[in-house]
A = this chain, B = another copy of it.
Amino acid sequence: MMLMTALSGNSAPIDPARFAVILARPENPENIGLAARAMKNTGFSDLRVVKKGRLPAKAAKTAVHAADILAAASVLPDLDAAVADCGAVFAATARIRSVVRVLALSEAVPMMLALPPVTRVGLLFGNERTGLTGDELRRANYVFTIPQAGPQPSYNLGGAVLLTLFALFTAAGAPRPAADPPLLRGEQEEVIRLILRKLEEKRFVHGGNREHVADIMHDLLGRMAITAKDRRFLLALFTKGVDLKEP
């Protein structure tokens, strides 16, 4: 399944089914739900939780519109089982260690996307308080960190998952809302000319200020980069709506 988007424009040519979000020993059920919601927001679906027992029922509270992701999530007793089918695991850390090379998120994302299409990619996030242990980090091929303004606090678990998935989702060009294109420049000029003529009829514009008002009107409507819809509104406004007194 390729990512679909409610917005027009480019959609990212990545296959979200290749990516698994792996939460190691999450403590707070709300973070499991927030991770599921972030996955739904960005089009991912494979959630794996490393913990004993079952998913806590409270996770559903924050998994708004993402109950299907929680329902399909795997709960695994150990990390080895969670990464077994992954060809590459990227582990998120807030701590920069001297032993391992730590990538910035912005460096890690292109590496994820450069992997062969058959490779399943695990995105590994640690416990809220402890982060990933050394033993857990050794299950990863790469370690990345999400830049932050200062040493404290780290991003909360749900936020780290969201920032990572959003970076992946938008990596190949974020979808953008459809925007009406501006009129052609000649058409924009025509609108300005019509407005200026109307203002002249109303004696707002006269010989003494014509150049000045024309400059201002070009600046103002120029910055608006007016569309066909704007033109309809502006012409109606200046034809019928504006009852200007002589200045």
Residues of A within 8 A of B (CB): 3-7, 9, 16, 34, 37-38, 40-43, 62, 64-66, 96, 101-107, 145-156, 158-159, 162-163, 166, 169-170, 174-180
Contact = CB atoms under 8 A, between A and B. Distances in A.
A169 B162 CA distance: 16
Contacts of A147: 5, 7, 169-170, 174-176
Contacts of A159: 34, 37-38, 41, 158-159, 162
Contacts of A104: 7, 9, 174-177
A131 B151 CA distance: 32
Given A3-B149, A41-B149, A147-B175, 13 more contacts: A4-B150, A5-B150, A6-B96, A6-B148, A6-B150, A6-B151, A40-B150, A40-B152, A106-B174, A145-B177, A147-B169, A149-B169, A163-B163
A174 to B, nearest CB: 5
B179 A149 contact: no
A101 B233 CA distance: 14
Contacts of A146: 166
Contact of A156 (B43, B62, B105, B149): B62
A102 B179 CA distance: 7
A170 to B, nearest CB: 6
Contacts of A42: 148-149
Contact of A153 (B41, B145, B155, B177): B41
Contacts of A3: 149
A34 B62 CA distance: 13
Contacts of A175: 104, 147
A92 B159 CA distance: 18
Nearest to A176: B104
A2 to B, nearest CB: 10
Contacts of A145: 7, 177
A234 to B, nearest CB: 15
Contacts of A151: 6
Nearest to A40: B153
Contacts of A9: 104
